[in-house]
Structure 1
Amino acid sequence: MDFFVIGAQKSGTTSLFEVLRSVEEVRLPRGKELPILLDENLSDAEIRSIFTQELGAGSPDVRRGTISPQYLTSPLAAQRIKSLYPDARLVVILRDPLERAISHYKMSSRRGIEQRDFATAVAAELRAREQGLDVAVETAYVSGGCYGEHLRRYLDPDSAKKREILVLRTDDLSSQPEATYRTLLAFLDLEDAELGADPSVRANVDRQDGLAMRALRRLRKMPSYKALVRHVPPTLKHRVAFQIEQRSARPAAAEAADSIVLPPSLHTEVLALFAQDARRIQALTGATPPWLVDGESQSLTNR
């Protein structure tokens, strides 16, 4: 494997997939995500074999990679990338963390995962963090945007060999898409490669049908579910799961965008946490997050 796009979730990875897969010299799994590094039941040999089956053998003229935004927050994925692919390059897309949190919350609400209002959910998450409790990935609205916490697993500042990483910004994918994708291709040593898709077109994966998710929940309650899943090939299992997830969004329960705000005191607490994490990102990558100004988080999302 030549590269991994490890995140972040709700930061533009689907658009990046649509553009990158149009590049002749790039090999990506079908259907965007193939998060097999999260599967504890797969051995190292099986992981290597699956990637080879999906992407073919390595070649000097081709870059094999995967776009799996779940990897950023996964200790297991970080450990496996370190041990199995120590020379692979990393790409991470960072979005204003409060904007990302709201987008994440709206997605969880549409999918029926979240029933609380945004402020209640965020307050509960902050208290859980203070107590050292685990926060479910599906509702990790704040933790999912603490990018520096997660990047530490991938970037060991004390290591003699520095991991090559490219930090992109979601805003740049929208405001200067051509230049941003040229930067990405140069990072992959594909300066002369041509984009086969319009980089200014943003992908939209939201769906308005919750039937698939309800069917999946019923299936998971069946006694034979686990036995059935064990017989499904890993590549098919992950691909079907991803497609179900993408088509399971439903409208309504989510608050209107204009009403998703935080009380001033909670907003200040969240921004302080993001500012602390932004300084961590800066120390790890050398990149200054745009929401960090004079050492403080300047997100203006709370409106």
Structure 2
Amino acid sequence: MTVPTSRLPSFVIIGAVKAATTWTGNQLRAQPNLFLPEQEPHYFSSAFDRGPGWYASLFAAAEPGQLVGEKSADYLAHPLAASRLASMIPDARLVVQLRNPIERAYSDYCMLYRRGTVDGRIDQYLTRGSAQPRFLNDGLYGQHLARFADRFPQEQLQIVLYDDVRRAPEATLEAIGRHIGTPTVPVPVAPDERRNDSRAPLLPLGLRRTLQPLKRTVAPFRRRAWFQRLHAGLARPIDYPQLRPDLRLRLRDFYAADVESLGTLLRRDLGSWLAVEQSR
């Protein structure tokens, strides 16, 4: 099948998961000169079997003159994404956002805990050999970046730190715009804002699972005042398992060598990533 290259992305945000890529995607999506699909395609990771025609169709709605891109935060850690992406769009400009891997692992765990995918046995999930290896392995940035560095020229890969997004969001967005080849204008979306904010109350898990089949049916009513009052009356804050200092120490030891090599690559001091302190 011949893929219309004019409809393929000229830039891709490849990750990492839980490193403010949602904020960046929302900022870029708000630019009139850019087009990104609303949802993450995950084509070069988990949806590759859907084929190149399906992937190209995701960008068919782009207006003439718009720069086309996409964001799928799991590409960075996926073992095959780099080779697949390089084979299909070798000239793509890549943006990778990296967060303190200890904080990233904990935030990822909390996201799945919130969804009910994992339980409160945090030690079992954030320990080497876990049944959910993504929590630890996705933060081995040096290993993952090597796959992309082997297949893309250095000038096509931009590395952004989560710390910079929080400290200087406008300057960071401008730098991303220069990298992908278009000016950007920041819109009022805070770096910590999420569509599924980890601090927002939720319906009890059992009730959420019971109502799951009705999700599409009730979607049109979500903005109605009566619906929001009902939701507020039933929703409860999430009590997340804490990342204890002893577990943080084990995570620090797990990531120490990779963080050191990444700091050398970026020519930045990343020692604060390995500090033993409690935060999320």
The correspondence for 1:28, drawn from 9, 33, 36, is 36
1:274 aligns with 2:255: yes
1:183 is paired with a residue whose SS is: helix
* CA gap 1:250/1:275 in 2 versus in 1, 3 angstroms: farther
- The C-alpha deviation readout for 1:133-172, integer Å capped at 9, x for no partner, is xx54xx622212111222222111xx69446111111121
1:41 is paired with a residue whose SS is: helix
1:261 aligns with 2:237: no
The correspondence for 1:16, drawn from 21, 24, 27, is 24
Amino acid across the alignment from 1:29: P
Amino acid across the alignment from 1:88: A
Contact 2:177/2:184 (8 A) holds in 1: no
> Counterpart in 2 of 1:78?
82
> Counterpart in 2 of 1:112?
116
> Counterpart in 2 of 1:177?
169
Supply the distance in 1 between the matched residues of 2:240 and 2:185 (Cα, whole angstroms).
36
Deviation for aligned residue 1:213: 5.3
2:138 is paired with a residue whose SS is: helix
* CA gap 1:65/1:212 in 2 versus in 1, 3 angstroms: farther
Deviation for aligned residue 1:78: 1.9
Contact 1:19/1:199 (8 A) holds in 2: yes
Contact 2:90/2:152 (8 A) holds in 1: no
Give the structure-2-normalised TM-score: 0.74
1:144-183 correspondence runs (5 A): 144-156=138-150, 161-162=153-154, 164-183=156-175
* CA gap 1:144/1:28 in 2 versus in 1, 3 angstroms: same
The correspondence for 2:50, drawn from 10, 27, 42, is 42
Amino acid across the alignment from 1:55: A
Contact 1:110/1:250 (8 A) holds in 2: no
Give the structure-1-normalised TM-score: 0.69
Supply the distance in 2 between the matched residues of 1:85 and 1:10 (Cα, whole angstroms).
25
* CA gap 1:262/1:160 in 2 versus in 1, 3 angstroms: closer
Unaligned 5+ runs, structure 2: 1-8, 215-234
Supply the distance in 2 between the matched residues of 1:21 and 1:160 (Cα, whole angstroms).
25
Supply the distance in 2 between the matched residues of 1:213 and 1:84 (Cα, whole angstroms).
39
Contact 2:37/2:59 (8 A) holds in 1: no
Supply the distance in 1 between the matched residues of 2:255 and 2:88 (Cα, whole angstroms).
31
- The C-alpha deviation readout for 1:244-269, integer Å capped at 9, x for no partner, is xxxxx9854632xxx32142xx5444
1:102 aligns with 2:92: no
Supply the distance in 1 between the matched residues of 2:51 and 2:134 (Cα, whole angstroms).
28
Deviation for aligned residue 1:7: 0.6
Amino acid across the alignment from 2:32: E
Deviation for aligned residue 1:93: 0.8
- The C-alpha deviation readout for 1:62-100, integer Å capped at 9, x for no partner, is 421111101112123222211001110110111111111
Supply the distance in 2 between the matched residues of 1:168 and 1:254 (Cα, whole angstroms).
28
Deviation for aligned residue 1:46: 3.7
Unaligned 5+ runs, structure 1: 129-134, 220-248
Deviation for aligned residue 1:298: 2.5
Amino acid across the alignment from 1:151: L
Supply the distance in 1 between the matched residues of 2:15 and 2:177 (Cα, whole angstroms).
17
Percent of pairs with identical residues: 25
> Counterpart in 2 of 1:299?
275
How many residues are matched?
244
Aligned CA RMSD, in angstroms, stands at 3.0
Supply the distance in 1 between the matched residues of 2:236 and 2:25 (Cα, whole angstroms).
23
Contact 1:11/1:95 (8 A) holds in 2: yes
> Counterpart in 1 of 2:129?
127
Contact 1:147/1:277 (8 A) holds in 2: yes
Amino acid across the alignment from 1:24: P
* CA gap 1:98/1:288 in 2 versus in 1, 3 angstroms: farther
2:57 is paired with a residue whose SS is: helix
Supply the distance in 2 between the matched residues of 1:41 and 1:83 (Cα, whole angstroms).
15
